[in-house]
Structure 1
Amino acid sequence: MSSTPRRRTVLATGVVAATVVALDGCTSDDSREDRKDRPQQGADLVLTGGRVHTLDDKDSVHQALAVSGGRIAYVGTDHGVRRHIGKRTEVVELRGRMVMPGLHDGHLHPMSGGQGLLGCDLEYAPLTVKQFQDRIRAYLKETADDEKASPDTWVQVEHWYAQAMRPAGTKVTKAVLDALDTRRPIIVKSTDGHTVLVNSRALEIAGITAKTKDPSNGAIARDAKGEPTGVLEDGASDLVEGRIPKPTAEDNLRIARTALAALAEQGVTTFMDAMASEEAIRAFATLAERGELTARGHFAPLVNVGDKDPIGAVTALRERYDGGDAKPAPTIAVRNTKLFLDGVLQYPAQTAGLLQPYLECDHGACRPGEKTGAQYWKQDQLDDIVGKLTKAGFDPHIHAIGDRSVRLALNAFAKVREGGDRTSRLTVAHAELVDPADIKRFGRLDVVAAMGFHWAKPAPDSVESVRPYLGSSRWSRYEPEGDIFASGGRISLGSDWPVDPLDEWTAIKTAITRTAEPGSPYAKEGPMTPHQRLSRAAALRAVTVNGAYQLRQEKLTGSLRAGMFADLIVLDREVTEVPEEEIAGAKVLLTMVGGRIVHGGTDLK
């Protein structure tokens, strides 16, 4: 091996050098550069000549960074970093490239996401009924050998954008699937994560008939005669999904690896599985044991109403799989739990719990209705389980979309704080509609709002499926990132992948602009509720510092400071300066977790 430092150079395009703010203590460190005690071994990696956004308390920007032993050894000037260059140090000349902490996604479903990338994928596309059928028909043709081997092999269709069926307002039933030339059971999963469509064969296998009662946490859609239509809402989908053969352990490893590769490409270095099964936890734990884990994984097992000994169940999972104290090499943590309070705002499901009824609309004319959505937990039940979970050392993560459900969650969290617990990391996921009286409670109670930034734009699932049914006052509070932030609340990113595409940079752009993608038919709407925008600085802190806080990692990840884990990314553009719409096109050139490169490389082409 050469005794001179290894060096890589990347030419920046359209990047202007910024004034660099010196790190506290850098002057004295720099002055020692030529001392005889300069390290001979040096750092493992030095990045120099860039724009290192630390996301510290001052949002400082520096030139250089050194990595040693999986941690950040230095952040400061190009001059100061020289003393960290030894004989075996790899030196990367960034030439103005942007470096920032790795992204933290505080609410997603990696196994479903990975499965979707491997199976029949509708890719979130707006489709006519014929296009919908043609996509599935093509998959059936590709997998004809599977059907010959086993006629009842399930067809699992992912990423169906139900609200975007064309023409607008199109609803589908089992008849659309029954028309396909197959006897295989078919399940089509909507991107909202709360609705599935199945064919008659799937209903038959699941034993769902007109006499089947709705489960307590969901609904079976029925026609005028009471017969199931094939549409299953929320917990009703479990009646079918429970009949699908589970993937093998080897299948799960393949799915987990696929998900991790997709996350690394996006620059995600920490994530939380927001409804983790034991099979999912086991798969990622196995990869961690093998040294194949490429992101820090947090897992939140589901706690349902009526579960027997839920504390014992989640404690057993923690004892079995939790990796203990965090280390530079990524491990997994089982210290969160997931609870569902309601469903979704979108018409026709409208299962999100509201304080006031949804409006009923007919040919553009809307009037007060009677439907107020679901409430899966009563307040006293929720208070009890949240109290028990926090006392057992778990951080509750509550799905609450409607304003009534958000209030119930905040009420339960207030009980925790009133009991003297100021350390639990309490999170409301989604919080798509929040009553004005509850906005400031996020900050007062130190409750994180894990928001799905993709939803904060004009789209079929907002302007068509939600806006008419809320009315102007409530609509102005839809996706209230701006209100929560302005009132002192802490916002993190919860992409909800695969409910939404795994496209973190478009999500970040959307939180900043509240606009649809250029070229979309909804772009003409302009920004949706523009007063709810986040600044670039606030959006970047949401996906780094605040995500780290949600998951108890803020002393280890989320910002770039000496001593913290070397979880960082290098981008192809300066996202704090390019036109806002160009943030969506950002490409991650390098993703590093604990000093190990898990995506891209140091040549940064």
Structure 2
Amino acid sequence: MKQSRNFLLGLILALAFAGSSRSMEPEDLVMYPEYVFYNGKIVTVDNSDFTRNLGTIAQALAVRGGKVLAVGSTDEIRALVGPQTKSIDLKGRTVLPGLIATHEHPADWSMISPVGFGRAVTNDEIVSRYLTGTPREQAALLRQTIQEAVSKAKPGQWVRIYGTRGYFKEWAGELGREFPKVVSKSLLDTLAPNNPVIVRAGTGAIINSLALQKVLPKLYYLSDEDRAPIAELGVGGTDLQRYADADSLIEGNIPLLARIYKAELEYWASIGLTAFGSGAYSPAALRGFRYLDERGEFPIRTGWAYLGPDYSEGTLETLASLQGTGTEHMWLVGAWPVDNGGSCTTINARPEVKQREGCNFSPPGSRDYKENGYGLMYRLIKSGMRIATMHTGGDKDIDQYMDIIEKASAEAGITLEQIRAKRHAFDHMALAPRPGQYDRIKKLGLLTSGTSIFHYSYSAEVARDYGEEYTAWVVPRKSLADNGIYNSFETDTPLSQHGGTIFEVAAYDLHRRDKNGVVHAPSERIDRERELKVLTAWGAYYLLKEKELGSLEAGKFADLIVLDRDYLTVPEEEVGKIQVLATMVGGKFAFASRGFATENGMAPVGYQKP
């Protein structure tokens, strides 16, 4: 009975959206759908509360004009079929809303992935080489790989050497230590006197003098103190590699950059991602995305955050008035300061462990005070900006962050109700939040986003350095949901490098095993129903688009995925093996596997596995 009511309501809403100016001729009374999916299991997630209840589960769904027209039984939906409708028999398969990752870096991943850069750029344009093996094995091959690549390059042509970070980015730190033992700016100058060279080492980079001439002007937002070691040594962290890749290596060729991004985003669509949140790390990256959007070629959607360099009062107040606005594929979700969250905790640990922590939000007068951390955060919040897609790394970070929210908002006359309406957020949940912070987080209406891979890559380190009991602070999804706190999903990992999937990552929230198979904080295992809300409806709320995304309801965008098995009923150990057969974004297929396409008389769409 509920299914029939939902179907009728959906159809009424869809007809209402058609507008009142249409002719009342009989042929115009029927809005034929462009697609009908039937004989399946449509998990709508139209109940987004904190219970395990996912809401309506139907048999069929109709799509028109990029949106869901109606959801109902197979008979009800097939009755809407018109002469041009494409009907797809799901043969009992499960359909879910499109998956959403609220802290992701496809722009970064595209530049280190054979799937992104490797598919889009030839060696006639930019000479590229990808190393494989353990960090030490890659380091051992580094010099000869550079020499071989340079020998193939024309004078002045860029040469790129990229290391593989491991399955879930666990080798990033070791690569950053091993590669500088083998190469330096001076050695690169010797090996490549006529070519700009970039060697990506983990999350950083090493470049030669010719590359430095192109990159350094792009680092205008860095302080002289931060620019000096890059200029001298040609070695830097994420700032260097991001600007070297998108702004310098591409040298203003935005169509080429867009081609790289499209190739990468097609991979993410093939694993079910339909929207993501990310900081706009470089002007060129934003232009590349915009180029795709203007041409209708953006495979999925993104909510982007402003990262400077202009943090003046007028700029921030203007941006604050634009939050949530943009196009259907790109919109502004917030901002964050240059120095974002560190790894600052309240936990008593060995001195050498505490020495590795960093506090970027410490208040004025404290030893750790940073103007680009606390100062910019204060200015952002006071201006009315929302904080979103921001890296954080410890519970003390979050204490200090909430202190700034309360103090800056009070000075600006922003009420508690207005603070809650902002939906300020913090990401990663490496060692935060702790249970004692839940009430304050809920009071301020903060949202959390967590990297599920931390169970695999970080929990064992937490147990070793802080104690096993603190592994419960690593992405504590169950406790957050139990306490009515929104938390959303992220991988923060270049899955395209090794063919990883979102379900593979999400499964770690269900079992919480580390890379050695050890389960940490089993009491924080979340049920798969609420994990699905983490992956869909709660992510849409984070991206300020819960009225358009995150569930399959009449009037919302038709962003959906078709699975090869039932997410709700397969044994838990098989959740990570689920494959996406098709992905639709805004009523158009962004991905259709060869098998699904053949079965439905279509051509394959998007990235196809080799």
Structure 1 length-normalised TM: 0.76
Amino acid at match of 1:470: Y
The 1:92–1:323 alpha-carbon spacing in structure 2 relative to 1, beyond 3 Å, is same
Taking the aligned partners of 1:579 and 1:308, their CA distance within structure 2 comes to: 50
Taking the aligned partners of 2:430 and 2:395, their CA distance within structure 1 comes to: 8
The 1:331–1:472 alpha-carbon spacing in structure 2 relative to 1, beyond 3 Å, is closer
Paired position in structure 1 for 2:5: 24
2:475 corresponds to 1:494: no
Taking the aligned partners of 2:76 and 2:501, their CA distance within structure 1 comes to: 36
SS at structure 2 position matched to 1:404: helix
Paired position in structure 1 for 2:588: 596
Q: Which one of the candidate residues 270, 273, 286 is aligned to 1:268? A: 273
Report the alpha carbon displacement of residue 339 of structure 1 after superposing the two structures with TM: 3.1
Could you tell me whether the CA contact under 8 Å between 1:303 and 1:310 is conserved in 2? no
Report the alpha carbon displacement of residue 474 of structure 1 after superposing the two structures with TM: 2.9
The number of residues matched between the two structures is 533
2:463 corresponds to 1:463: no
Could you tell me whether the CA contact under 8 Å between 1:157 and 1:186 is conserved in 2? no
Paired position in structure 2 for 1:210: none
Taking the aligned partners of 1:82 and 1:169, their CA distance within structure 2 comes to: 55
Report the alpha carbon displacement of residue 165 of structure 1 after superposing the two structures with TM: 5.4
Taking the aligned partners of 1:122 and 1:441, their CA distance within structure 2 comes to: 46
SS at structure 1 position matched to 2:526: coil
Paired position in structure 2 for 1:381: 375
The 1:603–1:396 alpha-carbon spacing in structure 2 relative to 1, beyond 3 Å, is closer
Residues 401-448 of structure 1, C-alpha deviations (whole Å, 9 max, x = no match) = 112112222333445474431321211011211233213333332211
Paired position in structure 2 for 1:398: 390
The 1:204–1:569 alpha-carbon spacing in structure 2 relative to 1, beyond 3 Å, is closer
2:42 corresponds to 1:52: yes
The range that moved more, 526-535 or 36-45, is 36-45
SS at structure 2 position matched to 1:439: helix
The range that moved more, 436-445 or 448-457, is 436-445
Amino acid at match of 2:107: M
Amino acid at match of 1:176: V
Paired position in structure 1 for 2:475: 479
Long gaps (5+) in structure 1: 1-19, 31-35, 208-212, 222-226, 344-350, 362-367, 517-521
Taking the aligned partners of 1:70 and 1:231, their CA distance within structure 2 comes to: 46
Amino acid at match of 2:381: G
Could you tell me whether the CA contact under 8 Å between 1:295 and 1:593 is conserved in 2? yes
2:519 corresponds to 1:527: yes
Report the alpha carbon displacement of residue 215 of structure 1 after superposing the two structures with TM: 7.1
Taking the aligned partners of 1:121 and 1:441, their CA distance within structure 2 comes to: 49
Taking the aligned partners of 2:101 and 2:317, their CA distance within structure 1 comes to: 22
SS at structure 1 position matched to 2:473: coil
The 1:235–1:564 alpha-carbon spacing in structure 2 relative to 1, beyond 3 Å, is closer
SS at structure 1 position matched to 2:391: strand
Report the alpha carbon displacement of residue 142 of structure 1 after superposing the two structures with TM: 4.8
Paired position in structure 1 for 2:256: 251
Taking the aligned partners of 2:174 and 2:9, their CA distance within structure 1 comes to: 65
Taking the aligned partners of 2:590 and 2:240, their CA distance within structure 1 comes to: 39
Paired position in structure 2 for 1:175: 181
The 1:290–1:591 alpha-carbon spacing in structure 2 relative to 1, beyond 3 Å, is same
The 1:239–1:83 alpha-carbon spacing in structure 2 relative to 1, beyond 3 Å, is closer
Taking the aligned partners of 1:167 and 1:586, their CA distance within structure 2 comes to: 30
Taking the aligned partners of 1:27 and 1:204, their CA distance within structure 2 comes to: 63
Q: Which one of the candidate residues 134, 144, 148 is aligned to 2:151? A: 144
Paired position in structure 1 for 2:607: none
Paired position in structure 2 for 1:101: 97
Q: Which one of the candidate residues 338, 354, 363 is aligned to 2:345? A: 354
Matches within 5 A, 1:193-342: 195-198=203-206, 232=236, 244-247=248-251, 248-303=253-308, 308-309=311-312, 312=315, 315=318, 324=325, 330-339=328-337, 342=340
Report the alpha carbon displacement of residue 237 of structure 1 after superposing the two structures with TM: 6.9
Amino acid at match of 1:145: K
2:535 corresponds to 1:537: no
SS at structure 2 position matched to 1:334: strand
The 1:128–1:27 alpha-carbon spacing in structure 2 relative to 1, beyond 3 Å, is closer
Amino acid at match of 1:511: D
Report the alpha carbon displacement of residue 387 of structure 1 after superposing the two structures with TM: 2.3
Taking the aligned partners of 2:73 and 2:307, their CA distance within structure 1 comes to: 47
CA RMSD, aligned part only?
A: 4.1
Taking the aligned partners of 1:571 and 1:136, their CA distance within structure 2 comes to: 44
Paired position in structure 1 for 2:605: none
Report the alpha carbon displacement of residue 139 of structure 1 after superposing the two structures with TM: 6.6
Taking the aligned partners of 2:9 and 2:259, their CA distance within structure 1 comes to: 50
SS at structure 1 position matched to 2:84: coil
The 1:567–1:439 alpha-carbon spacing in structure 2 relative to 1, beyond 3 Å, is same
Taking the aligned partners of 2:175 and 2:589, their CA distance within structure 1 comes to: 46
User: Which has more strand, going by share of residues?
Assistant: 1
Paired position in structure 1 for 2:511: 513
Residues 133-180 of structure 1, C-alpha deviations (whole Å, 9 max, x = no match) = 32674475356322x4237x3535255359855999994252322588
Long gaps (5+) in structure 2: 12-25, 48-52, 119-127, 217-221, 365-373, 600-610
Report the alpha carbon displacement of residue 296 of structure 1 after superposing the two structures with TM: 1.9
SS at structure 2 position matched to 1:510: helix
Taking the aligned partners of 2:246 and 2:582, their CA distance within structure 1 comes to: 40
Amino acid at match of 2:451: G
Taking the aligned partners of 2:559 and 2:375, their CA distance within structure 1 comes to: 39
Taking the aligned partners of 2:481 and 2:191, their CA distance within structure 1 comes to: 51
The 1:476–1:104 alpha-carbon spacing in structure 2 relative to 1, beyond 3 Å, is closer
Could you tell me whether the CA contact under 8 Å between 2:503 and 2:578 is conserved in 1? yes
Residues 515-552 of structure 1, C-alpha deviations (whole Å, 9 max, x = no match) = 25xxxxx34x3323222222111111111101100111
SS at structure 2 position matched to 1:561: coil
Amino acid at match of 2:444: L
Amino acid at match of 2:510: I
Taking the aligned partners of 1:143 and 1:84, their CA distance within structure 2 comes to: 61
Amino acid at match of 1:196: G
SS at structure 1 position matched to 2:556: coil
Report the alpha carbon displacement of residue 262 of structure 1 after superposing the two structures with TM: 1.6
The 1:198–1:467 alpha-carbon spacing in structure 2 relative to 1, beyond 3 Å, is farther
Report the alpha carbon displacement of residue 476 of structure 1 after superposing the two structures with TM: 3.6
The 1:500–1:233 alpha-carbon spacing in structure 2 relative to 1, beyond 3 Å, is farther
Could you tell me whether the CA contact under 8 Å between 1:107 and 1:493 is conserved in 2? yes
Structure 2 length-normalised TM: 0.75
